[in-house]
Structure 1
Amino acid sequence: MNVVLFLLSLIDLFFSPKRKDLYFKRRILDEFERNLAYKVNIEVTNRSNHFMSYSLVDGIPQSFHQHFPLKGRIQHGVTSVIEYETKAPVRGEYEITKLYFRYSSVLGLWEKQMTVNLIDTVKVIPDLTETKQFLENAQKYLLFEGNKIRRHQTGIGDFAQIRNYVVGDDPRKINWRQTAKLRQVMTNEYEPEHGKYITILIDCGRMMGSELEKGNRLEKALEAAHLVAAAALENGDYVSVLAFSKDVKVFVPAAKGMAHLQTILHSIYNVTVDSAESNYASVFSFMETMQKKRSLLLLFSDFRTFLYEEHALLYLKRLRQRHLFLMVGIEDSTLQNRANEKPDSVQTTMIKSIAQQQIMFKKKEKTKWERQGLVMIEAKEENLATVAVSHYIDIMNRNLL
C-alpha cells in the first residue's frame, strides 16, 4: 500500500504545472490616498496543460489592510485575474517586492510554493476628498459645511466684466457709458485681486502627533493645507509651503498655477511627526529672510503649544509689520468635554475646575496675541479644512492682504 501510495503521488506530481509555465503580473496604482480603499489586480497565467488550486499572499506592507491568503482555482492555458482590496492608513513611500504563491496538484497530494519578484512603488498621500469637492464646486462645498463665500467690498479688486444689471446689484456699480450705448442697464463686476502671496506653515512638532478620532493633528493639518493651496492656486495666487519642527523639514518656493499643486503634494506627503518640540522662533526667522514680499502667513499648529512660545511673539511682531498672520488650530475636544461635565463627585469637580482653568488661560493668552494683530482660530477636527479656506477667501474678498 505504501508503494502504491508513493506511485500515485508521483503520478499526481507529474500532472501538476511546472514553475516555468506560470507567469505573474501585478497591477497597482502609483498613489494611494490615506484610508481610502483601492483595488489591486494580480494576473496569473497558467501555460501548462493542467489546472491547479492556489493560495496567494501579496507582499504589501504590514500597515496596509490585508485579507490573505486568497484562494481559488485556475484552469490550464488561461490567464486569471485575482483581485483584492486594501487601504493604507500611514502616509509614506513603500516598495512592494514579493509575491508568495502556493499551488497544489490535481489530487492535492503535492503542494509547491513560489516567491515571485514583482517590484512596485506606492506613494501614500493625504486624503484629498475635500480638495476634490472644493475644486468641483467651491460654493456648494462651503455651503454644505455651514459657510459661504463672502462678497467682497464694493468696487474693490480687479475689474472682471460688464454684464446686464439684475435685481439686487449695487446701483453704484452701473456702467452708464455702456448703458447709454446698448440702451439697457449694464453693471461692472469686480473680483478679488489675483497674484497675492500665500505662505502655508505646517507644524510637525511633538504635539501634532496627538491622536484624534480619525488620524492625528498632522494628518488633518496636511489635508487642510492642501485644500487652502488648491483654493489659492485656482484663484491665481502664489503659494509657498514650509513644514518644520525644530528645523525646517520642507520648503516649497512660491509659484502659481494648478501644476504647482502637484509639486506641493509630492514635497509634503511624506512628512512625519518629530519627537522634538517645534522651534517657532527659528522658522519665523527663516521666513523673514525667504519671504520678502507681503504675504498671508497661515500657520497650522497646536494651539496650546504655540501660546507658550514667548520668543515667537517677538518675531511675529516684526513679521506683522510686513505680513498678515493667521493661525489655525484644532480644538481640544477632551478639554471641552471635561469642562462641560456634571460635577457628580469630588474628583469630577476637581477635573472640571482644572479644565475650565485651562480654557480661561487659553482665552487670556489668545486675547494678548490678538491685540498685537495676530489672528488665532480654533476649529473642530472635522471642520479644520473648511474653516481655513473660508478665512482665506474672506481675507481675499475684503482685500486685507
Structure 2
Amino acid sequence: MRFIKDLYLSNRFFTLLISSGVLFVVAFFIPILYGFVKAAFAAFMVLTIVDYILLFGQRHGFFARREMAEKLSNGSENEIYIYLENHFPFGANVKIIDEIPHQFQKRDVLFLESLKSGEGKAIRYWLRPVKRGEYEFGAINVFVSTVIGLARRRYHFEQGKTVPVYPSFIQMRKYELMAISNRLPELGIKRIRRIGHSSEFEQIKTYVPGDDTRTINWKATARKGSLMVNNYQDEKSQQVYCIIDKGRVMQMPFEGMSLLDYSINASLVLANSAMIKGDKAGVITFSNKISSILKADKKPVHLQHILELLYNQRTQFKESDYEKLFANIRLNINQRSLLVLFTNFESLAAMRRQLPFLQQLAKHHLVLTVFFENTEMEELLTMRPANTEEVYLKTIAEKFVYDKKLIVKELNQHGIHTLLTPPAKLTVNTLNRYLEFKSRGLI
C-alpha cells in the first residue's frame, strides 16, 4: 500500500494525459495520425513507469529534519531550519511543506528546491509568534520528483513537537549584549549624565571636560600633578517592581500582539537591566484580583523565576481592581521602591477613577505610570477629510489624542510620573526613563 499511498501524479502527467485523449479524438477523424498518436501514448506510459521505478526503487531515498530552539521568543523573529539530504542516485526536485502550529494561521509554508545526488541543503525561515503558550509543530512533507516530472513520491517525516513560547528573551539578550559592548545608543537608549552623585565612592580618575568640579580631589591632584576627581557610582540594591495590569484595557492588539504581551516583554527586559545595574527586580500582576507577587531580588537564578512567572500569566481581561493592588503593595513592599505600572487609560474618566490609589502609592514609592498611544489613529490624524463622515472620524481621533495628553498633565500635577509611548517603542522608552531616574538619584 505504501507504493500507492505515497504516489502523487503531477500536473504534467494530467496535461499529457488530456493531450493524448485530444489527439486520439483528432486521429479518429484523420486516420493517418493514429499510428503516431498511439506511439506517443505508449512512450508517455513508458516514461511514467520509468519515473515510478526511479522514485520507488530505493526505500530511503530522501531525508529531512527540522531544527529549532527548545523555546520560542514571543514577538521576535525565531529561526527555523529544515535540513534536506538527497540519497537518490540522481538529481531530485523537491517540494517541502512544513506543518507549523495553527496559531500562525499560515498555510503557505512551502519551499521548492533542487538537490543533486548525495547533496545536502538547509532551508531557513522565520516565525513570529504573538501569543505566549504551547505551539505544536506537525510533520514535514517532502514531495520528490525526477527530471521526468510525471510522478511524485511523498516522504512524511513525523517530527511532531510541542514548543513553549516565552516572553521575548531574544529582545532581552539583545539589550544585554548591547549594554556589555557599550552600544545601547544604537537601540535608542540615551546616554544620560548623572546629576550630582551618590554617597558610594568608586574610584579616583583623571579629570575630563564635563566632570563636576566639586568632585576634584586636591590631595590626589597634588600628588599626580594633574587634575584628579572622585568618581561615584549609582546606589545599588534599590527595588524595582514591574506591575502589570491584566485587565480588559490591556486586550487591545497592535501588530497582532496585545498590550499585555508588549508589557510582559518590556518587564522582562527592564527587570534584567535593573539586575545588571545592581538593583533588585520584582513583578506584580493583577486584574480583578492580585494574580502573582514575586519579591524583588537580584540573585542570578531570580531572572529565571521572573521568566517563568511572566510565561504563565493568563487572564480573562476583567475589570482591574486598583484598591486591592494598593492594599497588597502596602502589605508586601515596605522599602521605598520604583513601581513601573504598565496599564492603559483611554479617557480622563477612567484615569480619575484610579487616581486616588495612584496618589496613595506615590506617597510611599516612586510611581511611573506607563500607558500607550493608539498608533492605529495616525492614518486618521494625517488624512485630508473628503466627506462629512471622515471629518467626524478625524475629530474623534483628535479628541482621543488630546485626552491622552490631558491624562499625562493631570498625573504629573499629582506627583505621578508618566510615560506615554507607542507599543513598538515601549521597551526603549521604559529603559530610558529608568536610567533617567537613576541618574537623578530618585531611587
* Cα pair distance change 1:333/1:24, threshold 3 Å: closer
Which consecutive unaligned segments of at least 5 residues does structure 1 have? none
Between the aligned partners of 1:306 and 1:276, the Cα distance in structure 2 is 20
Match status 1:59 vs 2:102: no
- TM-score, structure 1 length as denominator? 0.80
Which stretch has the larger CA shift, 350-359 or 297-306?
Answer: 350-359
8 Å CA contact retained: 1:307, 1:366: no
Residue 88 of structure 1: aligned partner: 128
* Cα pair distance change 1:172/1:51, threshold 3 Å: closer
Residue 26 of structure 1: aligned partner: 66
1:85 partner amino acid:
Y
Residue 195 of structure 2: aligned partner: 152
The offset of 1:391, in angstroms, is: 1.7
* Cα pair distance change 1:10/1:328, threshold 3 Å: same
8 Å CA contact retained: 1:64, 1:88: no
3-state SS of 1:193 partner: coil
The offset of 1:263, in angstroms, is: 4.3
Between the aligned partners of 1:15 and 1:339, the Cα distance in structure 2 is 63
Show CA shifts across 1:79-120 (max 9, x none).
522414132242333232311223346755554333221144
Q: How does 1:234-383 map to 2 (within 5 A)?
A: 234-249=276-291, 251-256=293-298, 260-269=302-311, 271=313, 274-304=316-346, 308=350, 312-333=354-375, 362=404, 366-383=408-425
8 Å CA contact retained: 1:32, 1:38: no
Residue 42 of structure 1: aligned partner: 83
* Cα pair distance change 1:98/1:353, threshold 3 Å: closer
* Cα pair distance change 1:146/1:159, threshold 3 Å: closer
Show CA shifts across 1:164-198 (max 9, x none).
22343323212233334444432111121011000
8 Å CA contact retained: 1:64, 1:86: no
1:83 partner amino acid:
I
* Cα pair distance change 1:44/1:59, threshold 3 Å: farther
8 Å CA contact retained: 1:13, 1:105: no
Q: How does 1:117-156 map to 2 (within 5 A)?
A: 117-124=158-165, 125-126=167-168, 128-129=170-171, 132-133=174-175, 135-137=177-179, 141-142=184-185, 145=188, 147-153=190-196, 155-156=197-198
3-state SS of 1:289 partner: helix
2:156 partner amino acid:
T
Residue 172 of structure 1: aligned partner: 214
Structure showing greater radius of gyration is 2
8 Å CA contact retained: 2:270, 2:431: yes
Show CA shifts across 1:223-269 (max 9, x none).
43333223212211111123333344554432215664454345425
Which consecutive unaligned segments of at least 5 residues does structure 2 have? 1-37
Between the aligned partners of 1:340 and 1:5, the Cα distance in structure 2 is 63
Between the aligned partners of 1:317 and 1:224, the Cα distance in structure 2 is 24
- TM-score, structure 2 length as denominator? 0.73
Match status 1:227 vs 2:227: no
Query: % of aligned pairs identical?
Result: 24
2:432 to 390, 397, 401: 390
Between the aligned partners of 2:264 and 2:401, the Cα distance in structure 1 is 26
8 Å CA contact retained: 2:269, 2:427: yes
* Cα pair distance change 1:61/1:359, threshold 3 Å: closer
8 Å CA contact retained: 1:30, 1:121: no
Which stretch has the larger CA shift, 295-304 or 356-365?
Answer: 356-365
2:193 partner amino acid:
R
8 Å CA contact retained: 1:179, 1:186: yes
* Cα pair distance change 1:172/1:7, threshold 3 Å: closer
Residue 116 of structure 1: aligned partner: 157
8 Å CA contact retained: 1:208, 1:273: no
* Cα pair distance change 1:197/1:171, threshold 3 Å: same
2:201 partner amino acid:
F
3-state SS of 1:166 partner: coil
Between the aligned partners of 1:327 and 1:273, the Cα distance in structure 2 is 21
Which stretch has the larger CA shift, 111-120 or 332-341?
Answer: 332-341
Between the aligned partners of 1:278 and 1:123, the Cα distance in structure 2 is 28
1:185 partner amino acid:
L
Which stretch has the larger CA shift, 131-140 or 326-335?
Answer: 131-140
* Cα pair distance change 1:133/1:22, threshold 3 Å: same
8 Å CA contact retained: 2:189, 2:428: no
3-state SS of 2:415 partner: coil
Show CA shifts across 1:340-368 (max 9, x none).
87788765665566556556655555555
Which stretch has the larger CA shift, 126-135 or 220-229?
Answer: 126-135
Q: CA RMSD in A?
A: 4.0
Between the aligned partners of 1:257 and 1:170, the Cα distance in structure 2 is 34
Tell me the number of residue pairs that the alignment of Structure 1 and Structure 2 aligns: 398
8 Å CA contact retained: 2:66, 2:82: yes
